[in-house]
Amino acid sequence: EAGVTQSPTHLIKTRGQQVTLRCSPISGHTSVYWYQQALGLGLQFLLWYDEGEERNRGNFPPRFSGRQFPNYSSELNVNALELEDSALYLCASSGEVEQYFGPGTRLTVT
């Protein structure tokens, strides 16, 4: 069974640009979570999608947004990139409560 996949693996953007990150959950999982992990720090909750709906969002500005598609895959969009957005962005999926993480997308903003 394939695990959670994310694309791209690495990304370099310039301040002010926009970026889209993608996540495909484990087959059968309907929930997708997005987290930001700055270097050496903890997991900061960004967004939770379930059955195509946004269920909750963390304490991030509106320039962080996303969506979930009918096939339960998800996108995270970040507008007007700032230097402090440089981080590892992790996606996780769950069927019930157990979360399974993808490998992450490393975003560098210069």
Partner 1 sequence: GENVEQHPSTLSVQEGDSAVIKCTYSDSASNYFPWYKQELGKRPQLIIDIRSNVGEKKDQRIAVTLNKTAKHFSLHITETQPEDSAVYFCAGPWDMRFGAGTRLTVKP
Q: Does residue 18 contact residue 79 with C-beta atoms inside 8 Å?
A: yes
Torsion angle, CA of 12/31/49/2, rounded to 10 degrees? Answer: 20
Task: For residue 55, state whether it binds partner 1 (rule: CB under 8 A).
Answer: yes
Q: Quick one: which of 26, 30, 95, 100 contacts partner 1 (CB under 8 A)? A: 100
Q: Quick one: which of 19, 29, 33, 93 contacts partner 1 (CB under 8 A)? A: 33
Q: Does residue 28 contact residue 89 with C-beta atoms inside 8 Å?
A: no
Task: For residue 48, state whether it binds partner 1 (rule: CB under 8 A).
Answer: yes
Q: How many CA atoms lie within 13 A of 88 on its CB side?
A: 14
Those residues whose C-beta lies under 8 Å from the C-beta of residue 52, and which sit 6 or more positions away, are 68, 69, 70, 72
Task: For residue 28, state whether it binds partner 1 (rule: CB under 8 A).
Answer: no
For partner 1, the closer of residues 11 and 101 by Cβ is 101
Task: For residue 87, state whether it binds partner 1 (rule: CB under 8 A).
Answer: no
Q: Does residue 107 contact residue 14 with C-beta atoms inside 8 Å?
A: no
Task: For residue 95, state whether it binds partner 1 (rule: CB under 8 A).
Answer: no
User: What single letter denotes the amino acid at residue 107?
Assistant: L
Task: For residue 92, state whether it binds partner 1 (rule: CB under 8 A).
Answer: yes
Task: For residue 26, state whether it binds partner 1 (rule: CB under 8 A).
Answer: no
Binding-site ranges for partner 1 (CB under 8 A): 33, 35, 41-43, 45, 48, 55-56, 58, 90, 92, 94, 97-104
